[in-house]
Amino acid sequence: MKKTGIFVIFAAALGVAALQVGGCGGGGSAAPSATLRVAITDRNSDSFSSVFLDIKEVRVVPAGKEALPDGDPGLPVIASFATPLSVDVMTLGAGKLFLQKLLGEAVVPPGTYSQVRLVLSPNPTGAGRAPVNYITLAADPATRIPLDTPSGQESGLKILGPFEVKAGEVNAVMLDFDPNTAIVARGNGGYNMKPTGIRIVQVADPATLADFGSMTGDIVAVQSWSAATLSVVPRGSSASVASGTIFSNYTGGTWRGTYSSFVPAGTYRIFLKAPSFLTYSSPVTTVAAGTQTVLAPFTIIPAP
């Protein structure tokens, strides 16, 4: 299985393009702030030839403000398009991060954020009108199949965190979009998108794309598991450079989940923890800049 990925890039700097808070007598002070950049990248899928999203707006949601509607000024706007941006996320190469689709940049307060919201255009109604959010299958790339995106137009696709935006350093998260779980066939020829099939993985230091590579592979088990926590740890360190939650599907007689982590070139181990399973530690793996490293499937073992 292969999957897609959407990258959200955060460049946070204390006092850079800071919001100004006015004071009496004409004085002012710089409030801590962070510059937030959003870009999209992707890889191919075995099942889908294209996945088009018609994006009107990108917002982020500070922790505690999840109930606010999209138009609320408490939700920072990262990008807003007068003409919606149509993106085929299947065409964006992982090696073109930052260069392929930079969606926008905004000044936001540093802190904990709970969501990234992608506000989409509605698919037109009426006979003969082409959809703007749609998929094409690898077996039939010429046929556009409308993609139903519940809440994607009213309140945005809610991609859940949490993640941190820290002042004084570069921050990045990956919105890891897995078509095997995010796109669901309804049984009548239609397809739904589930935001729960998109996970946020925080990446440590995306300062220069040229220094990055990727690690990808599958996690398998013969016993049911729903989710697992994955961490990528540099050799000789105890601190992870990327982490996130992996979700499973029952495929080919096994419970299987797919992961992808973009990391600076270096040598790493992957650690995996799933409830009721033994912790898994991968062999040491070297990742080269600008390349994708495919690891053999990890088999996780039930705890005794």
177-205: pLDDT as tens digits: 667 677 888 878 889 988 876 767 666 55
* Model pLDDT, residue 153: 75
Token readout for 92 is: 């964006």
Cβ–Cβ under 8 Å, residues 111 and 76: no
- Looking at the structure, do residues 85 and 132 belong to the same domain, yes or no? yes
Q: Name the nearest CA neighbour of 263 among 234, 223, 238.
A: 234
- Looking at the structure, do residues 202 and 220 belong to the same domain, yes or no? no
- Please report how many Cα atoms fall inside a 13 Å half-sphere around the Cα of residue 9, on the Cβ side: 21
Question: Could you tell me which residue, 49 or 132, shows the higher pLDDT?
Answer: 132
Q: Rounded to an integer, what distance in angstroms lies between the CA atom of residue 200 and that of residue 114? A: 10
* Model pLDDT, residue 1: 32
- Looking at the structure, do residues 77 and 136 belong to the same domain, yes or no? yes
- Looking at the structure, do residues 54 and 142 belong to the same domain, yes or no? yes
Q: Name the nearest CA neighbour of 78 among 64, 91, 62, 67.
A: 62
- Looking at the structure, do residues 125 and 184 belong to the same domain, yes or no? yes
Last residue of some domain: 146, 180, 206? 206
- In sequence order, the β-bridge partners of residue 9 are 37, 172
- Looking at the structure, do residues 199 and 251 belong to the same domain, yes or no? no
Last residue of some domain: 167, 187, 206? 206
Q: What is the CATH number of the domain that holds 304?
A: 2.60.40.1120
- Looking at the structure, do residues 23 and 86 belong to the same domain, yes or no? yes
- Looking at the structure, do residues 106 and 237 belong to the same domain, yes or no? no
Question: 90: buried, middle or exposed (CB in 10 Å: 19+, 13-18, 0-12)?
Answer: buried
Can you give the residue range of the structural domain that contains 294? 208-304
Question: Could you tell me which residue, 90 or 12, shows the higher pLDDT?
Answer: 90
Does the pLDDT at position 167 exceed 90?
Answer: no
Token readout for 136 is: 């094409």
Cβ–Cβ under 8 Å, residues 109 and 32: yes
- Looking at the structure, do residues 145 and 283 belong to the same domain, yes or no? no
- Looking at the structure, do residues 164 and 222 belong to the same domain, yes or no? no
Minimum mean pLDDT range among 22-26, 45-49, 191-195, 225-229? 22-26
Prediction pTM value: 0.62
Question: Could you tell me which residue, 19 or 211, shows the higher pLDDT?
Answer: 211
The pLDDT tens digits for 107-165 are: 778 889 999 888 999 998 877 889 999 999 989 999 999 999 877 777 788 888 888 88
- Looking at the structure, do residues 226 and 93 belong to the same domain, yes or no? no
Number of structural domains found in the chain: 2
Buried b (16+ CB within 10 A) or exposed e, 143-162: ebbbbbbeebbeebbbbbbe
* Model pLDDT, residue 261: 73
Last residue of some domain: 139, 173, 206? 206
Does the pLDDT at position 259 exceed 70?
Answer: yes
- Looking at the structure, do residues 35 and 161 belong to the same domain, yes or no? yes
Mean pLDDT over 169-175 rounds to 65
Does the pLDDT at position 29 exceed 90?
Answer: no
Q: In which band, very low, low, confident or very high, does the pLDDT at 175 lie, cut at 50, 70 and 90?
A: low
Q: Rounded to an integer, what distance in angstroms lies between the CA atom of residue 282 and that of residue 278? A: 13
Cβ–Cβ under 8 Å, residues 123 and 112: no
